[in-house]
Copies of this chain bind each other. A is one copy, B any other.
Amino acid sequence: MTDPLAHVRELFDLADDVVYLDGNSLGAPPRAVAERLDDVVRRQWGRRLIRSWSEGWWEAPQRVGDRIGRLVGAAPGQVVVGDSTSVNLFKALVGAVRGTDRSEIVVDAGTFPTDGYIAGSAAELTGLSLRPADPDDLRLDERTAVVLLNHVDYRTGRLLDMAGLTERAHEVGAKVVWDLCHSVGVLPIELDALGVDLAVGCTYKFLNGGPGSPAFLYVPSAAQPGFRQPLTGWTGHREPFAMAAEYTPDAGIGRARAGTPDILSMLALDAALDVWDGVELADVRAKGLALTARFMELVRDLPGIEVITPADGRRGHQVSLRHPEAARLMAELIAGGVIGDHRPPDVLRFGFAPLYNTFDEAERAAKALEELL
């Protein structure tokens, strides 16, 4: 295929001697980040000092949030950046169930562990029970307060049907929290249009924000007045600098903020998001499906390999292969310059980031695996 994104790779600082297929774990650095951070440290912090807080820093969580909003189908004023995904999951879940007369939180049984762990803690503190369930058989009913689902499964790369599952939750009066960690930057997402209740996501995978860059939380405008999240730090206050004794949450998405925002990481992420300017998510999606299809086609029949990522369109941009010696194989691939990762016990993961990965790389990676087998 002709690649409408071929020019975007130049915006990344990637060595040519590696095939980097772990952008689903840690995205590669956009070139703009190092330069921007240098300006943030030397000029904004060093020369403007405390004054920078009123020259753009304070509003950064919402401003950068709006940039992510564009990638997830959220109109401005509904996404805030800050804290980790785990912390935002806690805000979302406790906020979702506060005051409910329902009794259970349902979580995808195969979820990324942190979602289950945090859901367990949120359930314990709010007096609800936690029920892990298969996304194909959620059995939601009027006992269900909220269901937490991963849009793309971290292990298999499977994509869930956000529209259908959101509707199913709403049919029984339950809320749904979507974890977008493995789908933001992968495919068009329509949070507003689908009436999603809450969503969280990380920014260090396909958004290339850097190691441990701050996560985001989506709360739709209509739900904001009733959203009472538990991490009532001062920056979520309606008038943070009034230093009032009583906590009065911000009227809007600001109430999802907790402590002082981490500016260095926030502005590194801001710089990293520049690579999305002029990029259409439909192009990203088309190329991602093509890259993963090409790779799957090449490795499908290799000895001992089982492809566990769906071959139809119900996948993200990650291909997961099962092999009994997955750990050894990945170590050898990495030693040879093909970088994916291994998830115990027996899964090899290869992430394809359409902004910088090429079809040639998909072929080189498949070839390297073939030679090891």
The chain A residues found within 8 Å of chain B, CB to CB, are 13-15, 18, 20, 22, 25-26, 28-29, 33-34, 37-38, 41-42, 45-47, 49-53, 57, 83-87, 90, 94, 109, 112-114, 116-118, 120-121, 125-126, 132, 155, 202, 204, 210-215, 230-235, 237, 240-245, 247, 258-266, 268, 334, 339, 341, 343-344
Residues of B within 8 A of A266 (CB): 212
Inter-subunit contact B15/A29 (CB<8 Å):
no
Our pick among B20, B204, B258 for the contact of A87 (Cβ within 8 Å) is: B258
Our pick among B29, B49, B202, B264 for the contact of A339 (Cβ within 8 Å) is: B49
Inter-subunit contact A33/B28 (CB<8 Å):
no
Q: 8 closest A-B pairs (Cβ-Cβ)? A: A84-B259, A86-B233, A86-B259, A211-B263, A114-B234, A117-B247, A212-B262, A117-B232
Inter-subunit contact A230/B90 (CB<8 Å):
yes
Beta-carbon nearest neighbor of A47 in chain B = B15
Inter-subunit contact A259/B211 (CB<8 Å):
no
Our pick among B37, B57, B262 for the contact of A41 (Cβ within 8 Å) is: B37
CB distance from A88 to the nearest CB of B (A): 8
Our pick among B20, B52, B202, B237 for the contact of A49 (Cβ within 8 Å) is: B20
Inter-subunit contact A210/B50 (CB<8 Å):
no
CB distance from A295 to the nearest CB of B (A): 18
Residues of B within 8 A of A247 (CB): 113, 116-117, 120-121
Our pick among B52, B94, B242, B341 for the contact of A344 (Cβ within 8 Å) is: B242
Check A49/B26 contact, CB under 8 A, given A86-B233, A234-B117: yes
Q: Complex: how many Å from CA A268 to CA B41?
A: 10
Q: Complex: how many Å from CA A1 to CA B263?
A: 37
Beta-carbon nearest neighbor of A239 in chain B = B344
Known: A13-B42, A20-B49, A87-B258. 8 other contacts (CB 8 A): A15-B46, A51-B334, A84-B258, A86-B258, A113-B237, A120-B232, A120-B247, A211-B260
